[in-house]
């Protein structure tokens, strides 16, 4: 991976969508992160995709492996070929 200029966690997955994200897990993250990541402005009005984008887990096209590990309903499934 290093010779391609990327790391394992930054690889983007084309088989993971917004529907695969566990909303409860994101809400728990928002509660835990509210004091540590104020630049995210974690209010209930903030769009889910906006939060994930600000965390550099989504590039506007695809999610990366970190998004899957943190927020997927079934983290193993999209990571398996």
Q: Provide the number of structural domains found in the chain.
A: 1
CA neighbor of 60 nearest in space, from 52, 68, 69, 72: 52
Q: At which residue do the structure tokens 């790391």 appear?
A: 7
Q: Quick check: pTM over 0.85?
A: no
Residues 55, 39 contacting (CB under 8 angstroms) = no
Give CA–CA dist 38/41, Å, rounded.
Answer: 5
Mean of the pLDDT values across residues 25-30? 87
- Nearest 5°: the CA angle 56, 37, 59 is 10
Give the model's pLDDT for residue 76.
Answer: 78
In tens, the pLDDT along 36-68 reads 877 666 555 567 888 888 889 998 899 999 999
User: Containing domain of residue 44, as a range?
Assistant: 2-79
For residue 42, give the 3-state DSSP assignment.
coil
Give CA–CA dist 54/46, Å, rounded.
Answer: 11
């Amino acid at each position: 991976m290093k010779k391609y200029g990327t790391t394992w966690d930054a690889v983007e997955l084309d088989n993971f969508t917004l529907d695969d994200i566990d909303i409860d897990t994101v809400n728990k993250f928002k509660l835990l992160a509210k004091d540590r990541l104020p630049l995210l402005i974690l209010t209930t009005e903030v769009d889910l995709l906006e939060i994930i984008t600000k965390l550099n887990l989504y590039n506007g096209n695809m999610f990366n492996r970190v998004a899957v590990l943190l927020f997927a309903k079934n983290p193993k499934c999209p990571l398996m070929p």
